């Protein structure tokens, strides 16, 4: 299994600012995923972050808005840039384990005013 921690757990930010969310895993993993869950909606994949390569973004998400770093096999950051109220969501880090398992972090609850 994998234990995932995220920082911050929640934040309230002003529009136009940026927030960097950290994700730490207690074991080395190849693939890390960042999801967004807007209020009342299901989870949507933002991007897949592999160590040593550029993140792969899903349709509708761009690197300028959501830059991702993956400096090693246990850590990743997601930045939400130039925030607007529409960015208010829960952001979740996730990793794929062996045999199709998947683990999720506790989430970062973001409110943009």
Partner 1 sequence: KNEVEQSPQNLTAQEGEFITINCSYSVGISALHWLQQHPGGGIVSLFMLSSGKKKHGRLIATINIQEKHSSLHITASHPRDSAVYICAVRELGGSQGNLIFGKGTKLSVKP
To the nearest whole angstrom, how small is the minimum distance from the Cβ of residue 108 to partner 1?
A: 8
Q: Which of 62, 59, 4 is nearest to 31 (CA)?
A: 4
Q: φ and ψ at 106, to 5 degrees?
A: -75, -10
To the nearest whole angstrom, how small is the minimum distance from the Cβ of residue 37 to partner 1?
A: 8
* Closer residue to partner 1, CB minimum distance, 82 or 102: 102
Q: Which of 23, 33, 28 is nearest to 95 (CA)?
A: 33
Where on the chain is the footprint of partner 1 (CB under 8 A)?
A: 31, 33, 37, 41-45, 48, 58, 90, 92, 96, 99-107, 109
To the nearest whole angstrom, how small is the minimum distance from the Cβ of residue 21 to partner 1?
A: 12
CA angle 13, 63, 18 (to 5 degrees): 15
* Closer residue to partner 1, CB minimum distance, 9 or 20: 9
Structure tokens at 95: 């990793």
């Amino acid at each position: 299994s994998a234990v995932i921690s995220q920082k911050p757990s929640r934040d309230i930010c002003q529009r136009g600012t940026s927030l960097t969310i950290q994700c730490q895993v207690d074991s080395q993993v190849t693939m890390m995923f960042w999801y967004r869950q807007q209020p009342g909606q299901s989870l949507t994949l933002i991007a897949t972050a592999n160590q040593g390569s550029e993140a792969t973004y899903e349709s509708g998400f761009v690197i300028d808005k959501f830059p991702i770093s993956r400096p090693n096999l246990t850590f990743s950051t997601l930045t939400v840039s130039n925030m607007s109220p529409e960015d208010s969501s829960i952001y979740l880090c996730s990793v794929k384990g062996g045999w199709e398992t998947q683990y999720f972090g506790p989430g970062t609850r973001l409110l943009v005013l």
